Amino acid sequence: MNKNKFSSIIVLPDCVIKYFSSYKHFQAELFAYQLNLPMLPKLLDYAEPYWIKMEKITGIPYLDELNNFQPALLAETIANFHWATLQNDKCLCHKDNAPKNILFCQGKYYFIDFNESEFAYPEKDITHLLLFWAADFPCEFFRSSVTLFLNTYLSILQLNSERWMTSLQENICLFDNRRKNFGKHSGKQLIAIQSANRKWLAELEELINS
């Protein structure tokens, strides 16, 4: 059983049962799975306010095998996830889209763990996702992956450059605080690469407005 301050998880051969200590997080996760979207595990059962049983996705965190990394497919999956709840420029945002919460399974991407999900502008979700890439990808690979990702996403949903900049700045603070709290530190070379990648993210106005 994996434990954290929000929930306890039991992983069974054919399903996952998640117990909640916070009703707010229970509601957030239940709402997401009740949408019955193809990129989320199927909801199997639940009981308020304690637990949710869902389909077990036998996949791997999507950045564990970069040979299988498909930015365009991931962009299409996220755009369709956002589009499903889009209203007045806001949509359900995953928010905690760390690599461990995006699984690659049988040629598809699945999203899990919606404890922190909320309705927000999609720019908030996208910029937070790309900060993980900025922290770990070499600059050339980062730029080509982001360009492919955004071109695909923008063919389905539009983004706003002003909201992009606001979301990016807010998420950099959130991202850095989370990494500090989890004790994750990078060497000088990786910090320099991350800085260059972040600077490039802040200069994407032309691509976003295209």
What pLDDT shows up at residue 1?
41
- Look up the pTM and report it: 0.92
List pLDDT tens digits, range 162-194.
999 999 999 999 999 887 877 666 667 778 999
Q: Does domain 60-208 have CATH number 2.102.10.10?
A: no
No. of helices (H) and no. of strands (E), the chain: 7, 10
Residue 123 has pLDDT above 50, yes or no: yes
Residue 85 has pLDDT above 80, yes or no: yes
Task: List the domain boundaries for the chain.
Answer: 2-55, 60-208
Q: Is 94 exposed, middle or buried (0-12, 13-18, 19+ CB in 10 A)?
A: buried
